[in-house]
């Protein structure tokens, strides 16, 4: 992992993948981290949010700029990114608690959340991919750790040899109701799932509104479609 200084903060890079875009103050990154933040701000039915995978907290600056000021609970095995986040963001980030442990173990020990972001990734010879646990056991475990009416947001990457419909279905199926968000500039796809999900048209309106409120370029660069109606 490389740490690259930018005009507004730093960037954590693994190969050709940006793991985090960390800002020195709240605001838009104009990257997919704005979209992750908008999903939280627009869809969380309550204040308790858990993050599986933190890196250096790339979504915190846009999330705070959107006015979502409640505490965040996160887990990540690598302390390097957390240190970068603290150095740049501790004066304005509010309460952000990051545990250093295995994500599955951590989630099993947590009380239910209103919204869970699954943003895990691992390096591989084929590039940065999702770890196996993102497909088993996390989809079921995430569902079990959501409060009634909760929402899960999963950041998916392509997996060589596995078609997208299979990846999307495995993550969404435990919830029964899901929407897929695609980004013009990234190969990632977000699965937005759970009993608390609004219909796709309303979800799109809310997410775009959150992005537009902070002036993020991504407001015009996303598409949503229904996967499961529930």
CB within 8 Å of 196: residues ≥ 6 apart: 43, 45, 114, 149, 150, 151
For 1-17, how does the pLDDT look when each residue is reduced to its tens digit (9 = 90+)? 788 888 899 888 877 77
CB of 137 within 8 A of CB of 120? Answer: no
Mean pLDDT of the chain: 95
Q: Is the peptide bond before 57 cis (omega within 30 degrees of 0)?
A: no
For 166-182, how does the pLDDT look when each residue is reduced to its tens digit (9 = 90+)? 999 999 999 989 999 99
Q: What pLDDT sits at residue 42?
A: 98
Q: Is the pLDDT score of 192 beyond 90?
A: yes
DSSP character string of 132-193: GGGTTTHHHHHHHTEEEEEEEEEEE--BTTB-HHHHHHHHHTTTSEEEEEEETT-S-EEEEE
Rounded to 5°, angle at Cα 101 from 100 and 107: 115
Taking the domains of the chain in order of start, what are their residue ranges? 2-229
> What is the spatial distance between Cα 9 and Cα 229, in angstroms, rounded to a whole number?
40
- List, in sequence order, every residue forming a beta bridge with 23; answer none if it has no partner: 9
Are β-strands 72-75 and 2-5 bridged in parallel, bridged antiparallel, or unpaired?
unpaired
Q: What is the pTM of this model?
A: 0.96
Q: Is the pLDDT score of 157 beyond 90?
A: yes
Give me the mean pLDDT over the 209-213 stretch: 98
Give me the mean pLDDT over the 76-95 stretch: 94
> What is the spatial distance between Cα 216 and Cα 23, in angstroms, rounded to a whole number?
14
Q: Which CATH architecture has domain 2-229?
A: 3-Layer(aba) Sandwich (3.40)
CB within 8 Å of 134: residues ≥ 6 apart: 118, 120, 154, 156, 171
Give me the mean pLDDT over the 189-214 stretch: 97
Phi, psi of 163 (to 5 degrees): -70, 150
Burial of 142 (0-12, 13-18, 19+ CB in 10 A): buried
For 88-109, how does the pLDDT look when each residue is reduced to its tens digit (9 = 90+)? 999 999 999 999 999 999 999 9
Length of the chain: 230
Closest alpha carbon to 54 in 25, 89, 27, 28: 89
Q: What pLDDT sits at residue 61?
A: 98
Among residues of the chain, what percentage have pLDDT more than 90? 84
Give me the mean pLDDT over the 184-209 stretch: 97
């Amino acid at each position: 992992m490389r740490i690259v200084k930018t005009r507004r903060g730093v960037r954590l890079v693994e190969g050709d993948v940006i793991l985090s875009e960390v800002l020195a103050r709240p605001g838009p990154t104009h990257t997919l981290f704005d979209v992750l933040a908008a999903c939280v701000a627009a869809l969380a039915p309550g204040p308790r949010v858990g993050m599986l995978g933190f890196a250096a907290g790339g979504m915190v600056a846009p999330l705070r700029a959107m006015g979502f000021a409640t505490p965040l609970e996160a887990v990540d095995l690598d302390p390097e990114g957390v240190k970068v986040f603290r150095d740049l963001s501790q004066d304005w980030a509010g309460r952000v608690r990051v545990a250093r442990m295995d994500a599955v173990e951590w989630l099993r020990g947590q009380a239910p959340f209103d919204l869970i972001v699954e943003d895990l990734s691992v390096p591989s010879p084929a590039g940065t991919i999702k770890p196996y646990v993102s497909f088993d056991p996390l989809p079921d475990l995430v569902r079990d750790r959501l409060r009634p009416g909760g929402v899960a947001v999963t950041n998916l990457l392509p997996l060589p040899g596995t078609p997208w419909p299979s990846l999307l279905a495995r993550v969404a199926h435990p919830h029964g109701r899901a929407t897929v968000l695609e980004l013009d500039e990234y190969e990632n796809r977000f699965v937005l799932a759970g009993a608390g999900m609004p219909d796709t048209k309303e979800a799109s309106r809310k997410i775009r509104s959150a992005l537009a409120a902070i002036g993020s370029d991504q407001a015009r660069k996303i598409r949503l479609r229904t996967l499961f109606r529930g």
